[in-house]
Chain A
Amino acid sequence: EAGVAQSPRYKIIEKRQSVAFWCNPISGHATLYWYQQILGQGPKLLIQFQNNGVVDDSQLPKDRFSAERLKGVDSTLKIQPAKLEDSAVYLCASSPRAGGTGELFFGEGSRLTVL
C-alpha cells in the first residue's frame, strides 16, 4: 500500500515570497491533516479535513496560510507571504476515520527554510 506522498521535500525561499506544498493521502482515507513541526518541537495541527470539508482550522494563521482539499483527495497548503518563523517541516497525515482516535499515517514532510 502506498503511503502519504508529499512534495516538494525541501524548499528555500526569501521572506515575503509564497510557497505551496502538495499532499496525496493514502487511498480511501477520509481525513487529512496538515501539521507544522518546528525544529525541536512536536507537530502542531494546522488544519484538518474530513473529505472536502474543514473540521478544524483554529490554529491556521489565516492571514497568510491557506489550504484546500480537492475532490476529497489531494490537498495543497499555501503560505503567502512567508515569514522567518514559518521555517519548519510541514507534515501531511491521513486517517481512515475522523480524529485522533485512530492511527494517523504521516508523510515524510516538506522542509521549508525562509531566509
Chain B
Amino acid sequence: QQQVKQSPQSLIVQKGGISIINCAYENTAFDYFPWYQQFPGKGPALLIAIRPDVSEKKEGRFTISFNKSAKQFSLHIMDSQPGDSATYFCAASSDYKLSFGAGTTVTVRA
C-alpha cells in the first residue's frame, strides 16, 4: 500500500520551462517531506525538504509548496535545464520511517 501518491508518472518539458510534480498523503502523522533526485544507475540524493509548519521552501530553482489542509505537496522546477532530466521521488516520514512515492521521470528537451 503506497502511503504517498505521486503524479504524473512522467513529464516532458522544454528547456527554460517549469516542471511540476504533485504528491498526496493520508497519514497526518507525517512530519517531514523530502524530495529525492535519482539519475540512471545512481542512488537517490536529497534535493530539498520541508516540514509541515512551513507552506513553501525555495532553494535555487527548486521550490516545495505544501498544503497541510489538503494533505498535498508539490515540487516546482523553474527554468528547467537538460541536467535536471532525472527521476524525482517525493517522500514522507513519521515515526522515523520514510515512505517514497512511485517517482516521476522528468525529461528536459533542449
Contact = CB atoms under 8 A, between A and B. Distances in A.
B43 A91 contact: yes
Nearest to A3: B43
B8 interface: no
B31 interface: yes
Contact of B96 (A55, A106, A109): A55
Contacts of B6: 42
A41 B103 contact: yes
A72 interface: no
Interface in B2-47: 2, 4, 6, 31-32, 34, 41-46
Interface string B41-55: 111111001000000
Interface stretch (B61-69, B70-78, B87-95): B87-95
B102 interface: yes
A4 B98 contact: no
A99 B96 contact: yes
Interface in A66-115: 91, 93, 98-101, 103-104, 106-109
A91 B45 CA distance: 12
Nearest to B103: A42
Interface residues of B, number: 26
B44 A106 contact: yes
Nearest to A93: B43
Given A100-B34, A101-B93, A44 B45 contact: no
Contacts of B91: 42, 100
Contacts of B32: 100-101
Contacts of A14: none
A100 B102 contact: no
A4 to B, nearest CB: 7
Given A99-B93, A100-B91, A106-B43, 9 more contacts: A40-B103, A42-B100, A42-B103, A43-B44, A44-B100, A48-B96, A56-B97, A99-B95, A100-B93
